[in-house]
Structure 1
Amino acid sequence: MSLSTNKIKQYRTIGHGLNPVVTVAGKGLTENVIAELNRALDDHELIKIKVAVTDRDARKALISELCNNCRAQLIQEIGKVALIFREVQKPDPKKSNIR
């Protein structure tokens, strides 16, 4: 899944006003965290996550692994917050952040 530059800019603009809905802490990517990420992506499509890992390289690796596990695309990463996107086949317009 590859997004155009215009779509990425649009999603960054939308993401600016979002708050993180999932926090990944010291235990890393547990089954519960992945389940919650999948639920949030199914509901909202575009979400912010907070990765509470101090080491920059470990944080980048964790975000990459998270995107691979959830089949999501990284839109933006600033510090400990990442904005990720996964398109849903039948989005709920009341819950989706991009519809």
Structure 2
Amino acid sequence: MKLRGKQKRYLRAQAHNMRPLFQVGKEGLTPNWLKQIEDAIEKRELLKINMLQNALVEDDEVVAYIENNSKIQVVQKIGHVFVLYKQADKKEHRTYSLEVAKI
């Protein structure tokens, strides 16, 4: 599902007070790192990741890697912080997706 502008705005507002849960470090982007993010986002639907200064990859590479290798969407990128969203597969974990569907 491709997010519309109002839906992204809602998700950005919800993520405003969140702290980043994951980091992209000098080891870069690995399938194991992405698997951990997918597991976490399945329970939360919305999370932030932070890119460290010593990371060997660029911001655009991180966005492309996440979106090309998973169903996760990058909602926002400010500096080295990314907001990620994916609708949970299990209905009991859906909180944000119910509101996004109404918008």
Q: Same fold (TM over 0.5)?
A: yes
Q: Who is 1:3 aligned against? A: 3
Instruction: Give the TM-score taking structure 1 as reference length.
Output: 0.82
Q: Who is 2:52 aligned against? A: 52
SS at match of 1:92: helix
Map residues 10-21 of structure 1 onto 2, 5 A cutoff.
10-21=10-21
CA RMSD of aligned residues (A): 2.1
Length, aligned pairs only? 96
User: How far has the Cα of 1:54 moved from its partner?
Assistant: 5.9
Contact kept, 8 Å, 1:50 with 1:82, in 2: the verdict is yes
User: How far has the Cα of 1:42 moved from its partner?
Assistant: 0.5
Over residues 37-69 of structure 1, what are the superposed CA-to-partner deviations in whole Å (9 max), with x where a residue is unaligned?
A: 1111101111101122568x8221122212222
Q: Who is 1:84 aligned against? A: 84
Q: Who is 1:42 aligned against? A: 42
**Distance in 2 between the 1:91 and 1:70 partners?**
20
For structure 1, list consecutive stretches of 5 or more residues without a partner in the other structure. Answer: none
Q: 1:64 to 1:97 in 2, by over 3 A?
A: farther
Contact kept, 8 Å, 2:42 with 2:89, in 1: the verdict is no
Contact kept, 8 Å, 1:47 with 1:83, in 2: the verdict is yes
- Alignment identity in percent? 24
